[in-house]
Amino acid sequence: MKKNIRITVVLLLILFAGILLPGCSGKEKAKTVEVPSVINMKISDAEKALEEQGLMLQVVKSQPSNSVPIDCIISQNPMPGEKVKQGTIIKAVISGGSENTTVPDLTRKSFEEAVSILQSKNLNLGDISEKENDAPVGTVLSQHPAPGTVVEPGSGVKLTVSIGKFVTMPNVIGMNVDKAKSLLESQGFRVTKIDTTDIVKVSGKIVLYQYPMPGLKVRPGVEVRLRISK
């Protein structure tokens, strides 16, 4: 009888101790914490901030962003301020960097080469302006936006292109053909054909007509035709 009483007392003491000391009798319940914001943080900084609260970081994917720097967090789940148990995994989406592109330097390149470069950069050809210049025909003289400018894909780039150098055709009408030919050739022109006509009665082989006409803007070295009197 006394033995049964002792056993009962021991069991009661064990039960009483279990009530007073739950941590010793079973698994302690996880503590609830508030989720901190890790948005815009670098991954390493976000991990530290979460570890301080007993939480863990898991990067689930990367996506382009024009506002959040590369390798920084765009969004998180659970959201900042939510109450969760310690040990909870916070899932994050990080920035893969900007989708924008940088305008390449197209100056001094040929028009065809410039177009090819724009296509490779996912940019479009904008308005084209022509300008008289010593540079070879088709050379890109300037551009807008300027090289190095960051723009969205598909943006247009305006080009100013050289159309070469022009000179003014001199007036040789009324000159003796030899003098006219000498003047034209001294300025780099080529007299390729000389016709004669007797419609106008003028002696001395005088130039009655020329092509290109006097005063026209022409390329250096252009061919000139003359018509003279017999």
**182-213 residue pLDDT tens:** 999 999 999 999 999 888 778 889 999 999 99
Q: Residue 217 is inside which H or E element, if any?
A: strand 217-218
pLDDT, one tens digit per residue, over 45-63 is 999 999 999 999 999 999 9
160 within 8 A of 140, measured Cβ to Cβ: yes
**SS3 call for 2:** helix
Cα R_g (the chain), whole angstroms: 44
> What is residue 27's predicted lDDT score, i.e. its pLDDT?
53
- Residue 24 has a CB neighbour count (10 Å cut-off) of 9
CATH number for position 114 = 3.30.10.20
Residues spanned by the domain of 193: 167-229
145 within 8 A of 103, measured Cβ to Cβ: yes
Same domain, 148 and 105: yes
Domain count for the chain, please give it. 4
Same domain, 133 and 144: yes
pLDDT, one tens digit per residue, over 114-167 is 999 999 998 999 999 999 999 999 999 999 999 999 998 889 999 999 999 999
Query: The whole model's pTM is what?
Result: 0.52
